[in-house]
């Protein structure tokens, strides 16, 4: 874990560090004052690569960071914090964005649980409207941008009531050469909100449906007060996913069905895009055809992992034939 910057340190003769907001394996996020715009508070996301990496790898990380930072800086959406600057300082890369005040949605879920209550569905759907709009905007970029780490703790409710998808550094650019690209400011997600295709180091199947899964898991958490069973748990035992209405009977049927389809293990079984997911959240006449089918999820999971299963079967046959 990298060394934290000291408070009062000034970067780029402009940003004075106030203190850390959070820290991870490759860097940290800091609260900072903008000395050129008195009174403005910003968030600095730091990427600190391992100093023992080969020079070629470090160069690739720097180039990839600048490519992604440049794309993020061009984005403009009310539910995304604005990226205003990016720079390098003493071998570390920095992304400067708006500091967003307010509670994150994980805190609001915990507060409701302490009161032995559930968050109001109408309010949650208003938040979902804003999140869907932000994701539709990201997915429509060229190249499309997939967040890959949507979860309640990465979503803030500002004092004005606006929702912000705050951990804006955690993205994945879908480019034609992504198999050969090191993605610097991406996230791996949190287990309960991470789809099966995002496990491990294989990013080849990450797409907009990965964000739809994470958004469905987030709404499940907001409406029930608990996270859904992880994709890995469900792959081993589909029955561990408890339908949301079994926990909170006040959830509308169409909302439950939209969430459960978003949580399908195979990406092809989820909504084709976030606009369809959004529409389903507000349609009360959806047929029961989307009611969860554990056998269907199991079949989809097998289909998604068929190549791996074939390799395993081949190895078993070879082992049998070679055993004296």
What CATH number does residue 68 fall under? 3.30.200.20
C-alpha dist (Å) from residue 45 to 65, 92, 98, 216, 247: 12, 10, 11, 27, 37
Q: Shortest CA distance to 225 belongs to which of 194, 246, 210?
A: 246
Domain-located, residue 143? yes
Give pLDDT, residue 55.
82
Other CB atoms closer than 10 Å to residue 46's CB: what's the count? Answer: 23
Domain-located, residue 22? yes
Assess contact for 72 and 95: CB atoms under 8 A. yes
Same domain membership, residue 72 and residue 137: no
Domain-located, residue 4? no
Same domain membership, residue 147 and residue 289: yes
Domain-located, residue 5? no
Active site residue 211: no
Exactly one of 50, 98, 142, 149 is catalytic; name it: 149
Q: How far apart are CA 145 and CA 73, in angstroms?
A: 13
The three-state secondary structure class of 289 is helix
Same domain membership, residue 206 and residue 220: yes
HEC-encoded secondary structure of 158-222: CCCCCEEECCCCCCEECCCCHHHCCCCCCCCCCHHHCCHHHCCCCCCCCCHHHHHHHHHHHHHHH
Same domain membership, residue 114 and residue 45: no
Same domain membership, residue 196 and residue 117: yes
Q: How far apart are CA 85 and CA 33, in angstroms?
A: 14
Backbone angles phi, psi at 138, to 5 degrees: -65, -45
- pLDDT tens digits, 119-145: 999 999 999 999 999 999 999 998 888
What domain count does the chain have? Answer: 2
Q: Report angle CA 109, 113, 115 to the nearest 5 degrees.
A: 120
Among residues 66, 82, 98, the one where a domain terminates is 98
Domain-located, residue 212? yes
Enumerate residue ranges in the chain where pLDDT < 50: 169-170, 173, 175-188, 288-297, 311-312, 315-316
Same domain membership, residue 107 and residue 94: no
Assess contact for 300 and 269: CB atoms under 8 A. yes
Among residues 53, 70, 98, the one where a domain terminates is 98
Same domain membership, residue 299 and residue 153: yes
Give pLDDT, residue 291.
45
Domain-located, residue 208? yes
Give pLDDT, residue 155.
95
What predicted TM-score, i.e. pTM, was given to this entire model? 0.79
Same domain membership, residue 238 and residue 126: yes
Domain-located, residue 277? yes
Give pLDDT, residue 307.
56
Give pLDDT, residue 292.
47
Domain interval for residue 65: 10-98
Assess contact for 118 and 250: CB atoms under 8 A. yes
Same domain membership, residue 172 and residue 114: yes
Same domain membership, residue 246 and residue 140: yes
Same domain membership, residue 112 and residue 72: no
Give pLDDT, residue 170.
42
What is the number of residues in the chain?
A: 324
Same domain membership, residue 67 and residue 118: no
The CATH number covering residue 159 comes to 1.10.510.10
């Amino acid at each position: 874990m990298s060394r934290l910057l000291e408070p009062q340190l000034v970067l780029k003769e402009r940003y004075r560090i106030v203190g850390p907001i959070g820290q991870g394996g490759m860097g940290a996020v800091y609260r900072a004052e903008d000395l050129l715009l008195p009174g403005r508070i910003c968030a600095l996301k730091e990427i600190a690569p391992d100093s023992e990496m080969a020079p070629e790898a470090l160069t690739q990380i720097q180039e990839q960071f600048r490519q992604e930072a440049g794309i993020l800086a061009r984005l403009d959406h009310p539910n995304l914090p604005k990226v205003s600057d990016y720079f390098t300082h003493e071998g570390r890369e920095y992304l400067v964005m708006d500091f967003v005040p307010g509670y994150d949605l994980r805190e609001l879920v915990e507060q409701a649980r302490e009161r032995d209550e559930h968050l109001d569905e109408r309010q949650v759907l208003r938040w979902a409207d804003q999140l869907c709009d932000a994701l539709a905007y990201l997915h429509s970029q060229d190249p499309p941008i997939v967040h890959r780490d949507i979860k309640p703790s990465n979503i803030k409710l500002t004092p004005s009531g606006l929702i912000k998808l705050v951990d804006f550094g955690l993205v994945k650019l879908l480019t034609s050469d992504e198999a050969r690209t090191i993605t610097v400011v991406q996230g791996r997600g949190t287990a309960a909100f991470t789809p099966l295709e995002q496990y491990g180091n294989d990013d080849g199947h990450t797409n907009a449906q990965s964000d739809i899964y994470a958004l469905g898991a987030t709404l499940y958490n907001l409406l029930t007060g608990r996270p859904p069973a992880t994709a890995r748990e469900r792959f081993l035992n589909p029955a561990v996913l408890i339908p949301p209405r079994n926990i909170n009977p006040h959830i509308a049927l169409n909302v439950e069905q939209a969430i459960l389809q978003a949580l399908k293990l195979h990406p092809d079984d989820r909504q084709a895009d976030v606009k369809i997911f959004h529409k389903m959240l507000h349609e009360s006449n959806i047929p029961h055809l989307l009611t969860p089918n554990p056998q269907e999820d199991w079949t989809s999971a097998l289909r998604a992992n068929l190549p791996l299963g074939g390799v395993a079967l081949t190895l078993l046959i070879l082992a049998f034939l070679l055993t004296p």
